[in-house]
Amino acid sequence: MAVSQPSRSRDLDKLLLRPGHLVGPNFEPGPELRDDIKEYVKVLVVGAGGLGCELLKDLALTGFKYLDVIDMDRIEVTNLNRQFLFRLEDVGKPKAEVAAKRVMERVNGVNITPHFCRIEDKPLDFYSDFSIIVLGLDSVEARSYINAVACGFLEYDSEDNPREETVKPMVDGGTEGFKGHARIIVPGTTPCFECTIWLFPPQVKFPLCTLAETPRTAAHCIEYAHLIKWNEVHGSRSFDPDNPEDMQWVYSEAVKRAELFGIPGVTYSFTQGVVKNIIPAIASTNAIISAACALETLKIVSGCSKTLSNYLTYNGVEGLHTKVTEFVRDKDCLVCGPGVLIELDKSVTLKKFIDQLEDHPRLLLSRVSVTHRGKNLYMQAPPVLEEMTRSNLDLPLFELMGGVAKDVIHVNGMAGKGDKKQSCLRKLRVVFRGVDGIADIDMAGGA
């Protein structure tokens, strides 16, 4: 008697094929949804470390068919306890490549494309190709970069509502020892990384004179060797934390320093920890955070459930505590905010544009400086830059912005009137009249 095999997507089908009252808006259950998710959704996983390994496994098992993973690191022995896709013989190989291969060996039908490079090495087009980006990173810099890229695709309509087809959602996971977070970032709807950058505690930095004069802890001795002694001995050759010889040198200098002051506790691994700012990673924390991220990814993509709103924290230090906080957007965020829409004629000079901002009811900006995609068009101060940018004032802004129909520009100056003036930095969406190109030309040709 033939027994029919249960479908591999049986559990997923329960979520995707049936309607329900806890589903997200616009949810359209059915086999087409399930198949479209497989066929059209491309997920990018950023990072193939502790979280990245978990994410790839979870997303592959969730039924996503096209995954990409990007990571610039190679596998180290110390990764093996928790980065479970790697084996001893993989040490020295690129994490992204090994992780992709291992998950494809184990999960039928998934296609994972590895990218062994820095996130900055990829062109913007690379990122625009994905439906959703999942982050398993360990630094503020990398998150800030990906956030800026994803928010950079966002466009607003004339009523300042995000245009849906330009929204690139992100799911961000992070862990530190027993603690972790999972959050969703839907640019234009939920706060972006930059709206809430204050959530990140500042890095602990010891005063240099403490290191030089009055070390009290093992970390002081290590930072002395790393920040002061290194330069004294090696001059301009900068310290490379990934070079074991450099690390060994810092370690042995730190030991000498610790002996001199009678301080215990300097070991090689602690030296690595202090210099590279490593926090002990816990495999279970990664597993829990990754599971939350993979589920949110499925929910955002399919609409099969309402999503996390919008920031989950997990703390396993004493027992278990978890909580969801709904953070709010910074409506004037320079990265994800709509900015103030300004329409201009092509002939308007930079000078005239600056004068207009002073009378603009939403801006009332005086003493304005202007920057556009890394080019400083006008600077009020210091005198050396004012002089270098002054000649731009008489040129048309359209020309200075490279002759495009519309683009974002940033200005700063003093906002408000009278004694209530306050320094501020604003994003503007400049649209030039009559350049919106093709339609005008077509009409001219047809007339």
Partner 1 sequence: MIKLFKVKEKQRELAESANGKPPGKKQSAGELRLHKDISELNLPKTCSISFPNGKDDLMNFEVTIRPDEGYYLSGTFVFSFQISPIYPHEAPKVKCKTKVYHPNIDLEGNVCLNILREDWKPVLNINTIIYGLYHLFTEPNHEDPLNHDAAAVLRDNPKMFESNVRRAMAGGYVGQTFFPRCI
Q: Which of residues 145-174 bind partner 1 (CB under 8 A)?
A: 145, 148-149, 152, 164-166, 169
Q: By the 8 A CB rule, do 440 and 434 touch?
A: yes
Nearest of 229, 232, 222, 230 to residue 258 by alpha carbon: 222
Task: Give least dist CB 335 to partner 1, A.
Answer: 6
Tell me, residue by residue from 299 to 318, as one string, x for binding to partner 1 by CB under 8 A and - for no binding: -xxxx---------------
Binding of residue 442 to partner 1 (CB under 8 A) = no
Q: Provide the minimum distance between the beta carbon of 384 and partner 1 in the complex, in angstroms, as a whole number.
A: 6
Q: How many residues bind partner 1 (CB under 8 A)?
A: 74
Give 92: exposed, middle or buried? Use CB within 10 Å, 0-12, 13-18, 19+.
exposed
Q: How many residues does the chain have?
A: 447
What CA–CA distance (Å, rounded) separates 322 from 180?
Answer: 9
Q: What's the alpha-carbon Rg for the chain, to the nearest Å? A: 26
Query: CA separation (Å) from 166 to 130, 162, 195?
Result: 11, 8, 19
Of 25-33, 64-72, 94-102, 317-325, which segment contacts partner 1 by CB under 8 A?
Answer: 25-33
CB of 212 to partner 1, least distance (A): 5
Residue 232 is a binding residue for partner 1 (CB under 8 A): yes
Candidates 151, 192, 195, 209; catalytic one: 209
Q: Retrieve residue 331's tokens.
A: 């409506």
**Contact status: 261 vs partner 1 (CB under 8 A):** no
Binding segment for partner 1 among 4-12, 45-53, 141-149, 247-255 (CB under 8 A)? Answer: 141-149
Piece in contact with partner 1 (CB under 8 A), picked from 5-13, 88-96, 271-279, 407-415: 407-415
**Of residues 383-402, those binding partner 1 (CB under 8 A):** 384-385, 388-389, 401-402
Residue type, 126: F
Among 382, 434, 445, 446, binds partner 1 (CB under 8 A): 382
Q: Is 439 in the site for partner 1 (CB under 8 A)?
A: no
The nearer residue to partner 1, 190 or 369, going by C-beta atoms, is 369
Contact 363, 340 (CB under 8 A): yes
CA distance 65 to 202: 39
- Comparison of 148 and 291: residue with beta carbon closer to partner 1: 148
Distances 356 to 339, 348, 367 between C-alpha atoms, Å: 16, 10, 12
Residue found under tokens 């090696």 = 234
In the complex, least distance from residue 92 CB atom to partner 1, rounded to whole angstroms = 29
**Pairing relationship of beta strands 422-432 and 340-344 according to DSSP bridges:** parallel
Q: What is the DSSP letter of 379?
A: -
209 is known as an active-site residue: yes
Q: What burial letters (b/e) apply to 114-139, b meaning 16+ CB within 10 Å? A: bbbeebeeeeeeebeebbbbbbbbbe
* Touching partner 1, residues 89-128 (CB under 8 A): 124-125, 128
- What residues from 175 to 194 belong to the interface with partner 1 (CB under 8 A)? 194
**Residue 389 — φ and ψ, nearest 5°?**
-105, -5
- 206 near partner 1, rule: CB under 8 A: yes
The verdict on 129 binding partner 1 (CB under 8 A) reads: yes
Q: Examine residue 221 and tell whether it contacts partner 1 (CB under 8 A).
A: no
Q: Mask 44-83, x = binds partner 1 (CB under 8 A)?
A: ----------------------------------------
Task: Locate the DSSP E strands across 26-65.
Answer: 42-46
Residue showing tokens 């479908």: 7
Token pair, residue 287, equals 């597993």
Determine, following the binding rule CB under 8 A, whether residue 40 of this chain makes contact with partner 1: yes
- Would you say 79 or 302 has its CB closer to partner 1? 302
Q: List Cβ neighbours of 254 (8 Å cut-off, separation of 6 or more).
A: 218, 221, 222, 224, 225, 226, 266, 271
According to the binding rule CB under 8 A, does residue 341 interact with partner 1?
Answer: no
**Contact between 200 and partner 1 (CB under 8 A)?**
yes
Q: 317-336: which residues touch partner 1 (CB under 8 A)? A: 334-335
Stretch that binds partner 1, among 3-11, 34-42, 280-288, 318-326 (CB under 8 A): 34-42
By CB under 8 A, the residues from 362 to 381 that bind partner 1 are 369, 371-376, 379-381
Q: Which residues are catalytic?
A: 209
